[in-house]
Amino acid sequence: MAELKYISGFGNECASEDPRCPGALPEGQNNPQVCPYNLYAEQLSGSAFTCPRSSNKRSWLYRILPSVSHKPFESIDQGHVTHNWDEVDPDPNQLRWKPFEIPKTSQKKVDFVNGLHTLCGAGDIRSNNGLAVHIFLCNTSMGNRCFYSSDGDFLIVPQKGKLLIYTEFGKMLVQPNEICVIQRGMRFSIDVFEETRGYILEVYGVHFELPDLGPIGANGLANPRDFLIPVAWYEDHQAPGGYTVINKYQGKMFAAKQDVSPFNVVAWHGNYTPYKYNLENFMVINSVAFDHADPSIFTVLTAKSVRPGVAIADFVIFPPRWGVADKTFRPPYYHRNCMSEFMGLIKGHYEAKQGGFLPGGGSLHSPMTPHGPDADCFEKASKAKLAPERIADGTMAFMFESSLSMAVTKWGLKTSNCLDENYYKCWEPLKSHFTPNSRNPAGTN
């Protein structure tokens, strides 16, 4: 496969033409009476027309046929995709899942859409307020099928197996330890090359942004130049039996047939695009004296709510870094949080729990549910010699954090058969070290 090309930058106003059709972008206007190469002009709006310019999202696509050229949508089996947050009773316990099982190719072929499973979520799609966490488990490419969500943006985190993603804007290759965002309404199809697994954070009604840096300054965390946008690429052919366009609308699944490829965009310009990002490019901020900075310093992307400083969802990572804090318990502290914290592991071992929390699995700590290092981690870290040390080398854990209280689906609690019923036991060996007669026990740093 030839190396793919990209445009660099986050949220930029970009323009791209497939080199097979130079000059395909109209000059000086968006919607001429006749477009170059007799293409159709189509606008894709990701925000209300009247949004402030700083948050106004739209792109113009110049395509062989407009996307309206399809048969009527009909309801199809939605599999394990749901937005019903009342399937099962709430569970405030600490929850952990073993690696979600990928279907074997020899048993059943499952593509990305058929392999979508909603794990948890909150809010309401119809009012454009909320989020969902999905797991994808697949073993075959989508072929002449494409998918789009009318409900929200997909932040996709592949954990096992690379994804070749065809979009209306071009192609992206997304490997484990990279992420991509395919925004609301954008059609895409995914090729896989092995049994494949990953995580999805879907947000309703808002888009992901780079977090404000405040006193950090102008540089740091995820730098805008490291986000990559695909360049225009089109295909112009018909497939036997046509193409199937699958739409997730109000949490339900629908399908429509059309004769031509949905990826028939010859040129485009705008600031509403898909994009990808390599997590290795994250510039880590950390404490260099004592104590912890809060994990918000590891935020890659945020989807803001209407309340200042409060997110519908944050995407946070825990990358390799140096730990140098003096006189400090260095692993994550014990915590009760007003936020929901879903964690996943792409590779390696998470620093606060060396066992049990495995790549391809996950955990959910709901609002005000206590969590923190397991007993073994506490004992080792409390006695460790505090010298500069590398933390999380060969590891990448991440967190989807939300201000909403997420409900777990029936698939997550029961059908998946991956819930770790013994998770709570990792804290049972914790014991009291209280010394009422000695404020400064021997051996403390």
Which DSSP string corresponds to 53-85? GGG--EEEEEESS-TT-SPPPEE---TB----T
Q: What is the pLDDT of residues 237-294, one digit of tens each?
A: 888 889 999 999 999 999 999 999 999 999 999 999 999 999 999 999 999 999 988 9
User: Domain containing 160 — which CATH number?
Assistant: 2.60.120.10
CB 332 within 8 A of CB 392: no
Task: Express each pLDDT in 389-406 by its tens digit.
Answer: 999 999 999 999 999 999
pLDDT in tens, 88-129: 999 999 999 999 999 999 999 999 999 999 999 999 999 999
Among 221, 248, 279, residue at a domain's last position: 279
The closest alpha carbon to 406, from 78, 102, 87, belongs to 87
Closest to 311 measured CA to CA, from 207, 179, 182, 155: 207
- Which tokens belong to 410? 């029936």
Q: Catalytic one among 70, 134, 237, 292? A: 292
Task: Note whether residue 27 is domain-resident.
Answer: no
Q: Is the pLDDT of residue 145 over 70?
A: yes
- Residues facing 225 on adjacent strands: none
**Which residue in this structure is represented by tokens 């010394």?**
435
Question: Is 199 one of the annotated binding-site residues?
Answer: no
> Which domain does 121 fall in, by range?
71-264+272-279
| DSSP letter, residue 291 | S
**Is the pTM higher than 0.75?**
yes
Assess if residue 24 is contained within a domain.
no
Q: What is the DSSP letter of 359?
A: T
- The tokens describing 258, both together, are 């059309």
Tell me the average pLDDT across 7-29.
97
Is 389 annotated as contributing to ligand binding?
no
Q: Which of 225, 248, 279 is the last residue of a domain?
A: 279
Determine contact, residues 181/275, Cβ cutoff 8 Å: yes
154 located within any domain: yes
Residue with tokens 């405030």: 92
Q: What domain count does the chain have?
A: 2
What confidence score (pLDDT) does residue 241 get?
86
Q: Which two tokens stand for residue 233?
A: 């690429």
Contacts of 122 (CB under 8 A, 6+ apart): 85, 130, 131, 340, 402, 404, 405, 406, 407
Instruction: State the Cα–Cα distance between residues 97 and 74, nearest whole angstrom.
Output: 34
pLDDT greater than 80 at residue 424: yes
Check if 207 is active-site.
no
354 pLDDT band, cuts 50/70/90, is low
User: Does residue 365 share a domain with residue 292?
Assistant: yes
Identify whether residues 119 and 240 lie together within a single domain.
yes
Alpha carbon distance 278, 286 (integer Å): 20
Domain assignment of residue 126, yes or no: yes
* Residue 348 counted as domain residue: yes
Q: Which of 71, 81, 66, 42 has the alpha carbon at shortest distance from 249?
A: 81
How far is residue 39's CA from residue 18's CA, in Å, rounded to a whole number? 13
Give the tens place of pLDDT for each residue, 309-347: 999 999 999 999 999 999 999 988 999 999 999 999 999
* 350 in a labelled binding site: yes
Q: In whole angstroms, give the CA distance from residue 104 to residue 138.
A: 9
From 256, 279, 302, give the residue that closes a domain: 279
Annotated binding-site residue? 433? no
Is the pLDDT at 235 greater than 70? The verdict is yes
Euclidean distance between CA atoms 79 and 253, whole angstroms? 9
334 lies in some domain: yes
Same domain, 248 and 339: no
User: CB neighbours of 75 closer than 8 A, spacing ≥ 6?
Assistant: 252, 253, 254
